[in-house]
Amino acid sequence: MKIPDEVKIIGEDIRSMKIRGAGKIARAAAKALGLAAQKYSGPNNPEVFKKYMTMNAEYLLSTRPTAVSLPNAVFYVMNALEKASGNVDELRSAVIEASQRFINESLEALKKISEYGANRIKDNSIVLTHCHSTASVSVIIRAYEQGKIRKVYSTETRPLYQGRITTRQLLEHNVPVEQIPDSAVRYIMHEVDQVVIGADTIASNGAVVNKIGTSQIALAAHEARVRVFVAAESYKFSPMTLIGELVPIEFRDPTEIVPREWIEKHHNVEVLNPVFDVTPPEYIDAIITEHGVIPPQAAIFILLEKMGWVLEKIKLGRLEKIRLEDLLEE
């Protein structure tokens, strides 16, 4: 058995950040598992099929370490496989249906988040956003359509400039937007009415893991008494933080920051390229989810509702960590 080429392409696109943004990564992972099920051509043996799907799932899990949306999407689909019974065709159908259901629920969540979030934007607002988040962009566009937003500041988000994607999307919807360097955030914060950002992972205590620079923006907003809203689908909440697991912070290739020639010339200088940072819950005013607008301290209730099956296994002593072999136990 081998991983299908179609799954490898999606996996490498996630790893190389050709596919980026927690929501898009999650939907891509779910799609890849559906494709893997479709491409299965092994023996008509349910156990062999489960091992094949586990192999594909583990490959996808290895692509990006921080964004919890990826493992949550994988576990969502694999949990459906665990609950299914019957022959290979029936298991295959269960995976494909769960894959499409996750994608549909994810897209529907964005619609709800845009409405809930737009309701929180004040009239005639200047909004600041950071990096590229489909959820936060959907809130901003919907609020602009309601006549609430006067202007948006969008950070470049170095080193890969995801903020330019945000700027392009806002311009496509005729939203007035100004691009600024990340380092200018504190300088313009006195003009800003509200900050709207996304999240890659939300911990059980309401702390938000997001693109590097987010915590500095939240600190500048706190200093200026500007409210900070985080727009995030519920699958971005991390169940493992309930049992003390830390969210790993991804470090990427230093050549994303400086040329390789510079590194070779200054080989005694270490170049760090952390991709994410952690914003404490006390610097966040509210988290906008498809279930409504909640304070960061209520994150645990989202986890209890959405990840109850994981918690049950933890209580039964079956999981110290979420492992795919545990998900597929009889």
What is the model's pLDDT at position 235?
87
- In the predicted structure, residue 228 carries a pLDDT above the cut 70: yes
C-alpha angle 290-295-301 in degrees, rounded to nearest 5: 65
Domains of the chain are 5-110+309-327 (1.20.120.420), 111-308 (3.40.50.10470)
Strand partners, 229: 196, 286
pLDDT digit string (tens) for 158-178? 999 999 999 999 999 999 999
Residue 132, classified by CB atoms within 10 Å of its CB into exposed (0-12), middle (13-18) or buried (19+), is: buried
Q: Which amino acid is at 113?
A: I
Residue owning tokens 């298991």: 91
Catalytic residues: 131, 200
Percent pLDDT > 90 in the chain is 76
Contacts of 290 by beta carbon, 8 Å cutoff, 6+ apart: 108, 109, 110, 112, 113, 116, 233, 234
What is the model's pLDDT at position 312?
58
pLDDT digit string (tens) for 230-262? 999 988 888 777 766 778 898 999 999 999 999
Per-residue pLDDT, averaged over 199-207, amounts to 92
What is the model's pLDDT at position 306?
66
Per-residue pLDDT, averaged over 223-227, amounts to 98
What is the model's pLDDT at position 308?
57
Calpha distance 137→23 (Å, rounded)? 12
What is the model's pLDDT at position 327?
47
Q: How confident is the model at residue 317 (pLDDT cuts 50, 70, 90)?
A: very low
Structure tokens at 119: 């309701």
Q: 324 or 210: which carries more pLDDT confidence?
A: 210
pLDDT digit string (tens) for 290-311? 999 999 989 888 777 766 555 5
What is the model's pLDDT at position 238?
85
Mean pLDDT of the chain: 90
- In the predicted structure, residue 328 carries a pLDDT above the cut 80: no
Helix (H) or strand (E) holding 63: none
Q: How confident is the model at residue 318 (pLDDT cuts 50, 70, 90)?
A: very low
